[in-house]
Amino acid sequence: MNPTTDKQKYFIIDFDSTFTKVEAMDELCQIALQNHPEKNERLSQIQSLTDQAMDGTLSFRESLHQRIAILEANKSHLPELIEKLGEKVSESFKRNQTFFDTYKDTILIVSSGFKDFIVPIVTKFGIKTENIYANEFEFDEDGKIKSFDASNVLSEDNGKVKLLRNLNLQGDIYVIGDGYTDYEIKEAGLANEFYAFTENIKRDKVVDKADREAQNLDEFLYVNKLARNISYPKNRIKVLLLENIHQSAKEAMEKEGYQVELLTSALTEDELIEKIKDISILGIRSKTNLTSKVVEHADRLLAVGAFCIGTNQIDLEACQDRGIVVFNAPYSNTRSVVELAIGEMIMLMRGVPKSVMEMHTGKWNKSATNSFEVRGKKLGIIGYGNIGAQLSVVAEALGMKVYFYDIVDRLALGNATMCDSLEELLSISDVISLHVDGRTENTNIIRKEHFDLMKEGVVFMNLARGQVVDIAALVENLKSGKILGAGVDVYPEEPKNNQEEFISELRQIPNVILTPHVGGSTVEAQENIAQFVPHKMIDYINAGNTFSSVNFPELQLPKLQNAHRLMHIHKNVPGILAKINQIFAKNEVNIVGQYLKTNEKIGYVITDINQKYHQEVIEELKNIEDTIRFRILY
């Protein structure tokens, strides 16, 4: 049979592990055998019997007989069971009341479970009692469950098939369930399609037989274009996290329902082009270059998270042009970088790295020559942003005199002094620390002529970005002894992963601290980042919020309530808002709220509208000239 639109649609839905997250008989066992010495043993027997019946290795009726005998349950246990089951309705069923309301006449619950507990649960969703097909318990005079109504066709082997045959439904029939008995309906030719429901349990044997897997009810409703409460099933959103991003980011996104893949290494451009095709959310750190070529292949990409501060590795403009929003973690590792910088400057002023190298070769050289306190020394900070400013405060607490230079006016914190030029800062500082960002214009901002301006015996540190310093000039000044010591954490070329060798002219020079780009690599920072960035991206996917994005007009939107949210991203050319509103006016669409923000290149319009509108409205909005991307949310 082929589904057609004009035929009546019937939905045959299983109860245990589909409508609810659990098997009701297992729950009943927990209640009935609460204080029984063999409780655990019997529970696992019941679970095993359920599984055998569900995957088709034991006859259903036999399984039922054995389970009831083990149970020793009583009528008095049922209210507690019903209460428990009510709390354990599958999440996607709970959030799709619209579906139950729309199809209440043709949704049938067909279960091998028992009406005694199914009816009170499913009728709350508007399912009609006469559409509930299930077994019924038989009780003895003390209320003990002694058996089941053997005349009910559902207590027989192949019961669901027999029932469906008797019902003789005319129309398109969809079966949703987690068990083999649900598949058997389709196998018998009594349904158009069988969806293996895997939100609660995934039985491979059943999934293999199914027409499709439905990871939840949203997926089923989306695929079949049926009334639903959310616009797009979250299980369809694929997330790729690279460069060993902290596990808790993966967990946060999985909790949202996304499919998440976490890789330990960065990827090359070609590898990324291959992988990016079906990715909706990408998470990277400083080593993955998201080039315009990669972006061209990123057809489904909605959001990028830089799980670090720097975003120079991302072609922000290319992302913007494709309507891809980029977030970073602007503060989460600031403190970690500052602590490393403070530690390094103390070590370098005391010549510790050189001593360490010598001691490891057995050389004892106790001396105060070229060993200094940091107290009272002049610290020159280049780039007085979040890191530079925090370093300034901590260094002052150590008794240092702080000077800084920035290309924009920055408020001097504490007693710090602003320098008018880079040259001034270079010529007065005892310790120089770089904290500029990695924009292209900052390539080699410290080169030969800048080292020439520095004092003899200066300590030099770069924990910002590798390309901002001319390494050959740094090496020359270290070898000549002009620079007393250097701390370097970042390099123009860095290994892609921990297996690749680190190659640099800086290797083996005494009194140089070389660290593998770990300024922000502390447990605290990585945990903070893994909380901050996923939250931003999830908020964008769920509500359209772009607040604190690094490449999009920033909008902080109210919560979506009783409306559909239409998100229109377009080139910033005159008249787009007018065109959008003309479409709403022409189609008599009621606007609940509207928000617009633009930057130089793009405009971002959010319109919350009344839920009742024609699909043509959406098509017209998508077809407005200069539209970059359109998304609908509910």
Ligand X SMILES: NC(=O)c1ccc[n+]([C@@H]2O[C@H](COP(=O)([O-])OP(=O)(O)OC[C@H]3O[C@@H](n4cnc5c(N)ncnc54)[C@H](O)[C@@H]3O)[C@@H](O)[C@H]2O)c1
Residues in CB range of 360: below 8 A, 6 or more apart: none
DSSP string, 223-267: HTT---SSSS-GGG-EEEE-TT--HHHHHHHHHTT-EEEE-SS--
In what side-by-side order are the strands of the sheet with 458-462?
417-418, 401-405, 378-382, 431-434, 458-462, 483-488, 512-514
| Catalytically annotated residue among 450, 465, 564, 565 | 465
Taking CB under 6 A as the rule, does residue 171 contact ligand 3PG? no
Using CB distances below 5 to 8 A depending on partner kind, what does residue 285 bind out of ligand X, ligand 3PG, none?
A: ligand 3PG
Query: Could you tell me the smallest distance in angstroms from the CB atom of residue 175 to ligand 3PG?
Result: 48
Query: Could you tell me the smallest distance in angstroms from the CB atom of residue 246 to ligand 3PG?
Result: 10
Taking CB under 6 A as the rule, does residue 159 contact ligand X? no
Which string of x and - marks every residue 516-545 that binds ligand 3PG (by CB under 6 A)? -x--xx------------------------
CA 569 to the chain's CA centroid: 22
Closer residue to ligand 3PG (CB): 18 or 521: 521
Closer residue to ligand 3PG (CB): 216 or 521: 521
Taking CB under 6 A as the rule, does residue 122 contact ligand 3PG? no
**Judged by CB under 6 A, how many residues of this single chain contact ligand 3PG?**
11
494 is catalytic: yes
Query: Could you tell me the smallest distance in angstroms from the CB atom of residue 447 to ligand X?
Result: 12
| Dihedral sign from CA coordinates of 185, 186, 187, 189 | positive
Query: Could you tell me the smallest distance in angstroms from the CB atom of residue 342 to ligand X?
Result: 14
Which string of x and - marks every residue 363-382 that binds ligand X (by CB under 6 A)? -------------------x
Q: Do the beta carbons of residue 223 and residue 234 sit within 8 Å?
A: no
Q: Do the beta carbons of residue 604 and residue 597 sit within 8 Å?
A: yes
Q: By CB under 6 A, what part of segment 315-334 binds ligand X?
A: 333-334
User: How many residues are listed for the chain in this entry?
Assistant: 634
Taking CB under 6 A as the rule, does residue 393 contact ligand X? no
Closer residue to ligand 3PG (CB): 183 or 532: 532
CB count within 10 Å of CB 409 equals 8
Residues in CB range of 349: below 8 A, 6 or more apart: 371, 372, 373, 374, 377, 431, 459, 484, 485
Query: Could you tell me the smallest distance in angstroms from the CB atom of residue 337 to ligand X?
Result: 5
Can you tell me the distance from the alpha carbon of 179 to that of 173, in angstroms, rounded to the nearest whole number?
17
Query: Could you tell me the smallest distance in angstroms from the CB atom of residue 307 to ligand 3PG?
Result: 6
Closer residue to ligand 3PG (CB): 321 or 437: 437
For the chain, the maximum distance between any two Cα atoms, rounded to a whole number of angstroms, is 101
Q: By CB under 6 A, what part of segment 68-107 binds ligand X?
A: none
Query: Could you tell me the smallest distance in angstroms from the CB atom of residue 464 to ligand 3PG?
Result: 8
- Residue 632 is inside which H or E element, if any? strand 627-633
What are the CA-CA distances from residue 208 to residues 17, 51, 203, 382 (Å)? 18, 16, 9, 61
Q: Do the beta carbons of residue 297 and residue 324 sit within 8 Å?
A: no
Using CB distances below 5 to 8 A depending on partner kind, what does residue 406 bind out of ligand X, ligand 3PG, none?
A: ligand X
Tokens of 444: 């080699």
Taking CB under 6 A as the rule, does residue 606 contact ligand X? no
Q: Do the beta carbons of residue 164 and residue 110 sit within 8 Å?
A: yes
Q: Which of left, alpha, beta for 469 (phi over 0: left; psi -120 to 50: alpha)?
A: beta
Which string of x and - marks every residue 239-278 that binds ligand 3PG (by CB under 6 A)? ----------------------------------------
Single residue of 286, 390, 392, 462 touching ligand 3PG by CB under 6 A = 286
Ramachandran angles phi, psi of 139, nearest 5°: -115, 155
**The one segment of 68-76, 217-225, 459-467, 562-570 that binds ligand X by CB under 6 A:** 459-467
Using CB distances below 5 to 8 A depending on partner kind, what does residue 305 bind out of ligand 3PG, ligand X, none?
A: none
Single residue of 177, 305, 323, 388 touching ligand X by CB under 6 A = 388
Taking CB under 6 A as the rule, does residue 520 contact ligand X? yes
Residues in CB range of 292: below 8 A, 6 or more apart: 315, 317, 318
Can you tell me the distance from the alpha carbon of 626 to that of 501, in angstroms, rounded to the nearest whole number?
47
Q: By CB under 6 A, what part of segment 331-370 binds ligand 3PG?
A: 333
| Catalytically annotated residue among 80, 396, 476, 494 | 494
Using CB distances below 5 to 8 A depending on partner kind, what does residue 193 bind out of ligand X, ligand 3PG, none?
A: none
Using CB distances below 5 to 8 A depending on partner kind, what does residue 552 bind out of ligand 3PG, ligand X, none?
A: none
423 is catalytic: no
Can you tell me the distance from the alpha carbon of 450 to that of 328, in angstroms, rounded to the nearest whole number?
31
- Residue 102 is inside which H or E element, if any? helix 97-102
Single residue of 28, 173, 309, 434 touching ligand 3PG by CB under 6 A = 309
Taking CB under 6 A as the rule, does residue 578 contact ligand X? no
Q: By CB under 6 A, what part of segment 499-518 binds ligand 3PG?
A: 517
Q: Treating both helix axes as pointing N-terminal to C-terminal, what angle do 180-187 and 159-167 enclose, rounded to 10 degrees? A: 40
Q: How far apart are the first and last CA of the chain?
A: 33
**Judged by CB under 6 A, how many residues of this single chain contact ligand X?**
31
Q: Do the beta carbons of residue 363 and residue 357 sit within 8 Å?
A: no
| Catalytically annotated residue among 228, 517, 564, 631 | 517
Tokens of 58: 């034991």
- The DSSP output letter for 342 is H
Query: Could you tell me the smallest distance in angstroms from the CB atom of residue 528 to ligand X?
Result: 12
Can you tell me the distance from the alpha carbon of 595 to that of 587, in angstroms, rounded to the nearest whole number?
20
Tokens of 305: 């998270």
Taking CB under 6 A as the rule, does residue 464 contact ligand X? yes
564 is catalytic: no
Closer residue to ligand X (CB): 347 or 445: 445
**The one segment of 32-40, 65-73, 111-119, 429-437 that binds ligand X by CB under 6 A:** 429-437
Using CB distances below 5 to 8 A depending on partner kind, what does residue 294 bind out of ligand 3PG, ligand X, none?
A: none
Taking CB under 6 A as the rule, does residue 390 contact ligand 3PG? no
Query: Could you tell me the smallest distance in angstroms from the CB atom of residue 386 to ligand 3PG?
Result: 10
- Three-state secondary structure call for residue 337: helix
Residues with a known catalytic role: 465, 494, 517
What is the binding site for ligand X (CB under 6 A)? 309-310, 333-334, 337, 382-388, 405-408, 410, 435-438, 442, 445, 463-465, 489-490, 517, 519-520
